[in-house]
């Protein structure tokens, strides 16, 4: 089923009329101001018409900038009147025409959009006389601290006057150079800082967070909100922006970067000098750059543009759709199937609009392999023996599936009278060029790293980003595959001329002149990926060195000469067989190496394996092997005579040359599983993901155990991945086919170009997926049939573990993943924390009113810290107990693919049962409170280990800290009685008979642990590891510190041992 998403652009009539009225007023007011200004400057006094034209152009810019500022303050409901015009040389007739068009049409403004300004067209939206003779402050904001430092280095030619403020987000200050947008200012103070990726993430409000109480269908129309990833970053931006005159945004030059730009402005634009929002936005600029070397920084600094709201809106649309669609489907199918089957090998059965079609490509190829039936086929083989060489000519008819027919051809040759002859029909020699590689874009880089280096797409993207942040490579996220005219190819080559690996080749190339790069497309975003500076042989290591080497060699090869091969084709004809007697012998030899001299991994640029037919074996016959072909003369005959061989071959001998004609039997073979490179091709072809997110989608289906990476970097679906993809096909194939997502991606591209309205795109897509979700829920039993035939039901696996507090029936323990308890009588599943060891606890019950569930023990860390665990309370925490573990996780600072990484984290968190390496209950839970002897805000509660001996100890709930009592202690009890001063519970320590350390020989001692100096001096404190198994390595194995064993990384304990 093919689903087309159509966008209606006929809704915002009233808004357009109001915008047009405001536009007319602004133009008139600006005309008056500009006329007065022209009179004062005594310019163009006698050319009023020209003044009018010029004023109209200026008023257009001012008005459009104002609209941009207003649209920024509005909610994501916006139209393309926010975008500034790209043509700076417009005239008054164009303005009048736009007025007439606006008055005649009441359609949505998206149909009358002006083209967005390309990054290379700077704009002036503020008065160049701003703060004439006064001091100004310019705030530069980068996407990462490392880029911020590179910007400061590129702008301030000398670091002697720089002021540096340390921190997670450093601040650098300097006073030079002058700011080009305020050249009349007396002094310019530059302040350079950064964010750490996205400032906000998209999420549902708190009322929609519960998996149990919220119907997933409600999420399609649930509100969304943007929450700060880190409150400290918001405060940091506000502190830096307070009172500043200009803001220059140095975010990554892609859609995500534009989205972050408006997140930054949302935090701090209102704090700039002046209270007029429109005027503030006029003093906001956007730097467009592709590398962070000083020359590119300076070039971007002197050609500042404006942020592109439309690109930001396209990211907002994609984030909202991925959140609502992904979480709705994921919640439903996870709760449905995790509650029925115990060996799914995945904690979350997630669905993603990009992730699932990616899985679908892998499953389709796997099914083609599994359903493939090998068939025998036969082919004629003509072997030529000449001058001591054996050359096998290929049968031009390819192959036949009829054995008798092929054997009949041989028989005809044997019985022919006079004897059959094989004649050299033609000898063709010609030079063929092998084209130099096309410049490297992101997709090509990912495929090259997978094919040539064996580096997966996700790791390749991370490595390229590290090289970019270190200044070695240009920006690695680009769709362009041709160098723009402004790109300095010669200068980039000269930077590599002294390298010991390719320096000699580059010098020769510079002497004779480089070749123009072939083919490719300029998408207008960034130039292709190229080296930005030289790197010594030992300057880089590991994957960074390998990727840099590949990119550099590829760049040099892309501007080198083509390779030249001499191709030879010798055709043979056996007249007895008629049209079936055509054979050919092919070979080639290298004449001029060209780019092949520098490109080590020439095979990664060959895409034939990705595009050829999956079942067509005859394609192999078209390959030209690199080999020398003996000399043949046209008309040279070979008479076929019978062979003494028992193989049924016919032999020919003439003047010492001989040949044989035989029959070869072969079998058709299935295609192989998709390689990473082939999968990337499929995703790019069908519009799944962007150049920046393709690697993350491939990584995600591996992390979720949907596919497995097998030798040859092939992607083989797991049993779970197969069942899910086939289940989607049974219910609704559009859920796994790429068509819908491709159409949505296309609509997001239209939003980015100002050709579609964001809200309309979201509404159409949500309605589409909502109808499919309803159908999915109604027909989930079809998928359930596949699951039941592939996985074990919960009632058939597991072992009786603890009793349910509601039914008093035993719950079955399912190790998972994820670990959980299952009540087969009520079919209720109780997920358990992951990351530790879960044990039974001898029938003890939870003390919470109306709970009565039997308790477990949960052990984490090294050495183990053990805590009580109630399955019911863990899944149903109460607010009065405090914050549950995992609720305070912050978003990643720098996600490689931000939208998918964010969605993955949200799904894990909303599942509620991600990795927990601390006490699974809040510190105010009755079970924990009953064992607490003291409390610290940062380290959590100090409680009695519920193992209760023989080694008595206290453990921290939030830190890997253990407090050991001496061996003479026989028992420790936490009492109900509390200390009057601290209000902590008292503990009673009982010593072994005859071993009491007390002066009076008493065997019982009662006190408050946190204030008792005697108890404090008698214990040993140890700081362990959060993980169950200590990490290998470190210095000296376990080691010994000042009392106690071990410590982090095996370096020895840092705790203090107290003696009597």
Active site residues: 475
The DSSP H or E segment spanning 971 is: strand 969-978
Handedness of CA 1024, 1027, 1028, 1034 (dihedral sign): negative
Contact (Cβ atoms closer than 8 angstroms) between residue 83 and residue 66: no
219 CB-near residues (< 8 Å, 6+ apart): 204, 208, 324, 327, 328, 331
Q: How far apart are CA 632 and CA 587, in angstroms?
A: 13
Q: How far apart are CA 617 and CA 666, in angstroms?
A: 10
Question: 446 — phi, psi (to 5°)?
Answer: -65, -45
Q: Is 990 exposed, middle or buried (0-12, 13-18, 19+ CB in 10 A)?
A: middle
Q: Is 1010 exposed, middle or buried (0-12, 13-18, 19+ CB in 10 A)?
A: middle
Q: Is 131 exposed, middle or buried (0-12, 13-18, 19+ CB in 10 A)?
A: middle
Q: How far apart are CA 578 and CA 885, in angstroms?
A: 81
DSSP 620: G
Contact (Cβ atoms closer than 8 angstroms) between residue 701 and residue 721: yes
898 CB-near residues (< 8 Å, 6+ apart): 197, 198, 256
Instruction: Tell me the C-alpha to C-alpha distance, in Å, between residue 52 and each of 21, 49, 443, 464, 466.
Output: 20, 5, 49, 51, 52
Strand, coil or helix: 721:
helix
Q: Which residue has the tokens 């909610």?
A: 75
Which of 551, 353, 357, 340 is closest to 446 using CA atoms?
A: 551
Contact (Cβ atoms closer than 8 angstroms) between residue 896 and residue 814: no
**Residue length of the chain:** 1060
Q: How far apart are CA 249 and CA 139, in angstroms?
A: 8
Q: How far apart are CA 640 and CA 649, in angstroms?
A: 10
Dig out the tokens for 154 from the structure. Answer: 């590129």
Dig out the tokens for 805 from the structure. Answer: 């507090």
Q: How far apart are CA 49 and CA 43, in angstroms?
A: 13
Q: What does the angle CA 788 – CA 791 – CA 792 come to, to the nearest 5 degrees? A: 90
Beta bridge partners of 531: 473
DSSP 285: E
Q: Is 958 exposed, middle or buried (0-12, 13-18, 19+ CB in 10 A)?
A: middle
């Amino acid at each position: 089923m093919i689903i087309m998403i159509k966008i209606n652009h006929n809704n915002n009539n009233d808004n357009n009329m109001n915008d047009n009225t405001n536009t007319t007023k602004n133009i008139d007011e600006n005309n008056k101001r500009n006329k007065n200004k022209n009179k004062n400057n005594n310019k163009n006094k006698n050319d009023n018409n020209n003044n009018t034209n010029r004023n109209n152009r200026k008023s257009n810019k001012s008005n459009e900038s104002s609209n941009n500022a207003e649209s920024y303050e509005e909610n994501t409901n916006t139209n393309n009147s926010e975008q500034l015009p790209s043509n700076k040389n417009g005239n008054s007739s164009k303005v009048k025409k736009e007025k007439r068009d606006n008055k005649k049409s009441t359609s949505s403004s998206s149909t009358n959009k002006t083209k967005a300004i390309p990054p290379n067209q700077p704009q002036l939206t503020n008065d160049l006389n701003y703060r004439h003779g006064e001091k100004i402050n310019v705030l530069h904001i980068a996407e990462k601290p490392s880029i911020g430092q590179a910007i400061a280095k590129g702008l301030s030619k000398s670091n002697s006057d720089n002021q540096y403020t340390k921190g997670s987000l450093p601040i650098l200050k300097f006073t030079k150079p002058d700011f080009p947008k305020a050249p009349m200012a007396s002094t310019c103070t530059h302040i350079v800082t950064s964010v750490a990726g996205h400032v906000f993430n998209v999420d549902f409000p708190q009322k929609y967070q519960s998996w149990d109480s919220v119907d997933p269908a409600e999420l399609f129309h649930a509100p969304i909100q943007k929450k700060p990833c880190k409150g400290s970053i918001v405060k940091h931006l506000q502190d830096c922006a307070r009172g500043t005159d200009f803001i220059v945004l140095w975010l990554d030059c892609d859609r995500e970067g534009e989205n972050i730009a408006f997140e930054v402005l949302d935090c701090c634009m209102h704090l700039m000098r002046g209270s007029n929002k429109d005027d503030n936005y006029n003093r906001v600029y956007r730097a467009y750059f592709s590398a962070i070397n000083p020359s590119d920084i300076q070039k971007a600094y002197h050609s500042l543009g404006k942020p592109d709201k439309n690109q930001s809106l396209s990211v907002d649309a994609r984030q909202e759709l991925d959140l609502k669609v992904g979480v709705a489907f994921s919640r439903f199918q996870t709760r449905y199937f995790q509650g029925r089957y115990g060996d799914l090998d995945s904690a979350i059965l997630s669905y993603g609009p990009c992730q699932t079609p990616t899985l679908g490509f892998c499953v389709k190829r796997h099914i083609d392999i599994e359903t493939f039936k090998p068939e025998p086929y036969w082919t004629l083989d003509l072997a030529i023996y000449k001058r001591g060489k054996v050359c096998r000519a290929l049968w031009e008819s390819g192959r036949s599936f009829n054995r008798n027919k092929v054997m009949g051809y041989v028989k005809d040759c044997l019985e022919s009278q006079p004897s059959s002859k094989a004649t050299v029909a033609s000898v063709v020699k010609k030079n063929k060029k092998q084209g130099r590689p096309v410049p490297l874009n992101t997709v090509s880089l990912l495929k090259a790293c997978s094919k040539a280096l064996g580096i997966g797409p996700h790791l390749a993207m991370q490595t390229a980003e590290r090289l970019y942040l270190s200044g070695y490579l240009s920006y690695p996220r680009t769709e362009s595959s041709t160098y723009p005219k402004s790109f300095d190819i010669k200068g980039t080559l000269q930077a590599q001329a002294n390298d010991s690996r390719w320096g000699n080749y580059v010098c020769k190339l510079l002497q004779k002149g480089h070749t123009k790069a072939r083919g490719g497309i300029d998408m207008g975003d960034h130039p292709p990926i190229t080296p930005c500076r030289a790197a010594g042989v030992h300057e880089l290591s590991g994957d960074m060195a390998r990727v840099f080497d590949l990119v550099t060699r590829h760049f040099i090869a892309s501007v080198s000469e083509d390779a030249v091969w001499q191709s030879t084709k010798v055709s043979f004809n056996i007249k007895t067989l008629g049209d079936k007697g055509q054979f050919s012998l092919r070979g080639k030899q290298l004449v001029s190496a060209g780019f092949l001299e520098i490109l080590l991994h020439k095979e990664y640029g060959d895409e034939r394996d990705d595009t050829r037919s999956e079942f067509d074996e005859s394609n192999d016959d078209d390959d030209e092997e690199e080999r020398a072909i003996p000399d043949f003369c046209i008309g040279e005959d070979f008479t076929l005579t019978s062979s003494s061989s028992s193989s049924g071959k016919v032999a020919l001998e003439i003047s010492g040359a001989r040949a044989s004609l035989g029959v070869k039997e072969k079998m058709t073979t299935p295609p192989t599983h998709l390689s990473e490179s082939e999968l990337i091709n499929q995703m790019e072809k069908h519009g799944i993901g962007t150049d920046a997110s393709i690697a993350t989608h491939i990584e995600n289906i591996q992390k979720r155990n949907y596919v497995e990476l097998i030798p040859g970097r092939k992607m083989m679906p797991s049993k779970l991945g197969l069942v899910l993809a086939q289940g989607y096909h049974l219910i609704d194939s559009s859920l796994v086919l790429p068509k819908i997502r491709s159409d949505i991606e296309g609509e997001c591209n239209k939003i980015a170009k100002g050709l579609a309205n964001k809200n309309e795109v979201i509404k159409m897509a949500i309605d589409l997926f909502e109808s499919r979700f309803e159908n999915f829920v109604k027909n989930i039993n079809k998928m359930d049939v596949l699951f039941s035939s592939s996985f074990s039901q919960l009632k058939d696996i597991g072992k009786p573990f603890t009793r349910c507090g509601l039914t008093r029936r035993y719950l079955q323990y399912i190790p998972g993943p994820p670990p959980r308890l299952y009540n087969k009588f009520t079919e209720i599943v109780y997920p358990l924390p992951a990351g530790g060891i879960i044990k039974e606890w001898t029938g003890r019950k939870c003390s919470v009113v109306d709970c009565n569930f039997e308790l477990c023990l949960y052990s984490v860390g090294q050495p183990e810290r053990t805590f009580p665990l109630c399955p019911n309370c863990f899944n149903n925490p109460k607010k009065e107990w405090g914050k549950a573990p995992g609720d305070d996780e912050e978003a990643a600072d720098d996600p490689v693919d931000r939208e998918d990484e964010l969605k993955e984290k949200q799904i894990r968190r909303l599942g509620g049962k991600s990795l927990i390496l601390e006490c699974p209950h809040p510190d105010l839970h009755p079970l924990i409170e009953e064992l607490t002897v003291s409390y610290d805000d940062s380290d959590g509660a100090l409680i009695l280990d519920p193992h209760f001996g023989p080694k008595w100890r206290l453990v921290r709930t939030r830190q890997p800290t253990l407090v050991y009592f001496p061996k003479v202690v026989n028992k420790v009890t936490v009492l109900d009685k509390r200390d009057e001063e601290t209000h902590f519970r008292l503990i009673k320590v009982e010593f072994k008979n005859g071993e009491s350390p007390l002066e009076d020989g008493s065997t019982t001692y009662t006190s408050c642990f946190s204030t008792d100096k005697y108890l404090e001096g008698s214990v040993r404190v140890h700081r362990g590891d959060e993980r169950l198994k200590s990490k290998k390595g470190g210095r000296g194995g376990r080691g010994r510190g000042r009392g106690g064993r071990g410590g982090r990384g095996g370096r020895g304990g840092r705790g203090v041992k107290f003696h009597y």
